[in-house]
């Protein structure tokens, strides 16, 4: 089969790669659409050599074969693939029994991701898609599930005034998730014009710039001087600026959930959040909360007639043109938000 790899010199190349065979308990999925995640972009910048397996974890596709122990009825199913967690987890350890598959210490390495014609994962990691849902929308289940998990694990309450810091893919899916799960006012920051426009279209009541103090004043003006009830930080990075901003714009006894990935050491003055009695919650990927997996909630949200999240898919490329897709995703002056690699 064909698969795409980072070549170690700044480019994505397509070459032949052995097609995986489903092991017992697994499904073979013909990949239809795979999103290029910000983590794919950042990890390529940090790599010092070429990939040995194809990456890509925002995947939708069709089950075409199953391994021993998996019912044949699954063949032909349209699915969103949980590449990182339940699709690789052992299903038996303490974390798996709690439905927190991403924390399984026995997760298998898998045999590559969705930047390929086929991928295998355990059947537990294959979440059915409605017939009316497009492959494009199916590949948005994973990033939406990340934000759904943050909103749920952070205990957002219906009617909360929510601030979302950053309007990249995760920031925009956070706006969609918060809106769908009952947020009141939503205020967001954005760095690029296309992000600001999308944030407003997805349900943000106002959008401010990512830098400066204007946004903090915007939040105070919208909350009678209190600050936000619930803040979702989605930027991360090598600086701690947005974490400090989250503490600043969140009210006393408010809640902060961190979806962004921070690198390196950061100096944070903890006097503020302690005196303000703020709750700061880390959040990584997805799992089961209150009996429902975040993927299932994401599928339900995307299935709603009023959900317009697919507007964030600004560019689509074939697997053969994946290098152009990555370069477009890096270049925000292109107007890109979410770039997907789509296959027939």
Per-residue pLDDT at 170 exceeds 80: yes
In Å, how far are 16, 77, 254, 266, 319 from 278, measured between CA atoms?
52, 44, 5, 19, 45
**12 burial type by CB count under 10 A (0-12 exposed, 13-18 middle, 19+ buried):** buried
Per-residue pLDDT at 109 exceeds 90: no
Residues 6+ apart with CB under 8 A from 119: 20, 28, 29, 31, 59, 61, 81, 83, 110, 111, 112, 113
In Å, how far are 34, 256, 314, 321 from 335, measured between CA atoms?
19, 30, 7, 18
Per-residue pLDDT at 46 exceeds 90: no
Per-residue pLDDT at 52 exceeds 70: yes
Find the mean pLDDT for residues 116-138: 97
pLDDT in tens, 187-218: 999 999 999 999 999 999 999 997 778 999 99
Confidence at residue 265, expressed as pLDDT on a 0 to 100 scale: 83
In Å, how far are 124, 229, 243, 257 from 252, measured between CA atoms?
41, 8, 16, 15
Confidence at residue 48, expressed as pLDDT on a 0 to 100 scale: 87
Distance CA 20, CA 198 (A): 38
Least confident window among 54-58, 108-112, 287-291: 108-112
Please tell me whether residue 237 adopts helix, strand or coil conformation. strand
Find the mean pLDDT for residues 69-85: 97
Confidence at residue 206, expressed as pLDDT on a 0 to 100 scale: 98
DSSP state of 330: H
- Helix, strand, coil % in the chain, rounded to nearest 5: 35, 25, 40
Q: Which residue has the higher pLDDT, 110 or 219?
A: 219
Residue that has been written with the tokens 């992000």 in this structure: 195
Say what angle helices 38-46 and 322-330 make with each other, to 10 degrees.
100
Angle, vertex CA 46, rays to CA 328 and CA 334, nearest 5:
15
Confidence at residue 274, expressed as pLDDT on a 0 to 100 scale: 97
Q: Where does the pLDDT of residue 108 fall: very low under 50, low under 70, confident under 90, or very high at 90 and above?
A: confident
Q: Where does the pLDDT of residue 283 fall: very low under 50, low under 70, confident under 90, or very high at 90 and above?
A: very high
DSSP state of 89: S
pLDDT in tens, 92-105: 999 999 999 999 99
Distance CA 1, CA 278 (A): 51
The CATH classification number of 155-282 equals 3.40.50.720
Confidence at residue 210, expressed as pLDDT on a 0 to 100 scale: 78
Per-residue pLDDT at 110 exceeds 80: no
Say what angle helices 214-222 and 241-249 make with each other, to 10 degrees.
20
Judge contact between 151 and 178, C-beta under 8 A.
Answer: yes
DSSP state of 332: G
Confidence at residue 140, expressed as pLDDT on a 0 to 100 scale: 98
Say what angle helices 294-303 and 141-153 make with each other, to 10 degrees.
110
Judge contact between 74 and 126, C-beta under 8 A.
Answer: yes
Find the mean pLDDT for residues 231-246: 93
| Sequence ranges of the domains in the chain | 2-143+288-342, 155-282
Say what angle helices 169-180 and 294-303 make with each other, to 10 degrees.
80
| CATH 1.10.565.10 fits domain 2-143+288-342 | no
Structure tokens at 85: 């967690």
Distance CA 193, CA 189 (A): 11
């Amino acid at each position: 089969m064909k698969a795409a790899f980072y070549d170690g010199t700044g480019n994505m190349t397509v070459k032949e790669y052995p097609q995986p065979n489903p092991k017992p308990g697994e499904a073979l999925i013909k990949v239809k659409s795979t999103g290029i995640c910000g983590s794919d972009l950042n990890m390529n910048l940090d790599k010092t050599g070429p990939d040995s397996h194809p990456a890509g974890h925002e995947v939708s596709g069709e089950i075409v074969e199953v391994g021993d122990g998996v019912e044949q009825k699954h063949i032909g199913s349209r699915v969103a693939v949980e590449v990182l967690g339940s699709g690789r987890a052992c299903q038996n350890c303490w974390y798996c029994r709690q439905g927190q598959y991403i924390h399984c210490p026995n997760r298998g390495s898998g045999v590559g991701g969705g930047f390929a014609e086929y991928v295998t994962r355990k059947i537990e990691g294959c979440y059915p898609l409605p017939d009316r849902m497009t492959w494009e929308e199916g590949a948005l289940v994973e990033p939406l599930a990340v934000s759904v998990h943050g909103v749920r694990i952070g205990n957002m309450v219906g009617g909360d005034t929510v601030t979302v810091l950053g309007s990249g893919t995760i920031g925009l899916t956070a706006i969609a998730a918060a809106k769908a799960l009952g947020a009141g006012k939503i205020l967001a920051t954005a760095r690029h014009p296309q992000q600001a426009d999308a944030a407003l279209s997805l349900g943000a009541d106002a959008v401010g710039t990512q830098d400066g103090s204007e946004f903090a004043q915007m939040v105070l003006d919208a909350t009678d001087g209190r600050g936000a009830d619930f803040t979702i930080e989605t930027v991360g990075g090598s600086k701690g600026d947005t974490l400090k901003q989250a503490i600043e714009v969140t009210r006393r006894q408010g809640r902060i959930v961190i979806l962004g990935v921070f690198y390196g050491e950061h100096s944070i003055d903890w006097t503020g959040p302690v005196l303000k009695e703020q709750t700061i919650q880390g959040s990584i990927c997805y799992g089961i909360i209150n009996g429902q997996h975040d993927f299932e909630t994401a599928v339900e949200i995307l299935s709603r007639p009023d959900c317009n999240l697919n507007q964030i898919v600004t560019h689509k490329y074939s697997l053969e043109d994946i290098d152009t897709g990555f370069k477009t995703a890096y270049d925000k002056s292109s107007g890109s938000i979410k770039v997907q690699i789509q296959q027939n």
